[in-house]
Structure 1
Amino acid sequence: MGIGMKNDQLYLNKIIKIMKLQLKDISYTVGDKIILNKINLEFENGLYALLGLNGTGKTSLINIISTLKKPSTGNFFYNNVSVLNKPEYLRKDLGFMSQNLGLIQDFDIIQNLTYFGLLKGCEKKSLNNNISKILKDFDLESYNNQKIKNLSGGIKQKISFALSIINSPSVLILDEPVNNLDYLEREKMYLLLKDISKTSIVILSTHLIEEISRFCDKKVTISNGTVSLENNINFQINS
């Protein structure tokens, strides 16, 4: 069940351009509870690990950056354009993989890839080529005609990941993307994400700190609604 490592247009944007995502004084509250408190962050091309315990605001931050939720206060910008004013400006360049995977259970793999690829604005001819490549590189060809509901958790996770990159996004956000993969599959995914991050902003939420520390450029740690951003993620893990 391998994931291909070829550096071509499907996985890497053709021209290297610096993408920029800026969060300014982002707060998010639910009732009287402060989930995020005046978050200020700036992302550029690279692979970022988003770390934090459950209940610290990690999922809320992911949902705001993914335009699934609006912040209570503050603003954020994609290449200097306000995402709150023009969410479609980010959405057209966005790839997102959630923990619930977001697959249509009664569709097979090709139907899922085709449906979501067209939904993301992919051209039909190039989409068909991309799908053929994905099926081969992700070792999914033998599962072509099987409905999603009949597949294992690991296969579903690879399909969901494939969906998130099918439009060659400039901003890729992944929420615990490797939970159901074995060690070798996780390593292959990290390497692919590292390649993608040369031309894109890749934000990966994970609890596998030791594994991701060998691949990420920076870590964003969220605790009690506030964040810290650190370079050189080969950090010492506190026991």
Structure 2
Amino acid sequence: MPDDGVSTRSVWVLVCEDDDVLGEQVATGLRDAGFTVDLTRNLADACRYCGTHPYDCLVVDRGLPDGDGLDLVRQQRRSGYRTPALIITARDSPMDRSEGFAGGADDYLAKPFSLGELAARVRALCAPRPAPQLPVVTVGDLVVDRLRRRVQRGGILLTMSAREYCALELLLAHVGKPVTYTEFADYCGEKPSQATIDDVVSRVDRKLGTPQLIHTTGAGYLLRFGR
């Protein structure tokens, strides 16, 4: 396996494919390539899984028994998640591809395909890349002006201390993914204690109001919109 900077053992992939044989083949192929894989066979289960697990990549068929798999990607994008999404489908016309990318897909693979190519594409989607440093970041109804360090939610300006803003900025850079206490300490630079981090994040959570955006993970916190 090429050394491309991705430790596949730590990459968690959700596969949603209603064909029993192909679904098992895809899941097995990705596991053999070193990925951790959950397999679902309908849109409802895939949505439920995404609501409780911080996946690193989505591999989704479009023609599911209860809807279009692209709707899962659309839902993720509306909720602020940027989890890479790969569409696998027999619907491969230029119009279908355009619709897929417009719906938030990052890659599109037509059936039939080789499992080796699929694993390579998933690996490429999950490769680490610098996060864009946008001057203004908008996720859901949360707006953060990085230049002025101004935070608004629902159009209301929120006042935050330097520590509170630092914690929010780190959570915002990892929307939908857990941030550990160690990562908080390293990012803030002062090596605060776990109790201090708990206190700071708790204050940020209260200031952001409802519905709640910050959730505990046991080893830290995550910022999540929607389900």
**So what's the TM-score if we normalise by structure 2?**
0.30
User: Which structure has greater helix proportion?
Assistant: 2
Q: TM (normalized to structure 1)?
A: 0.29
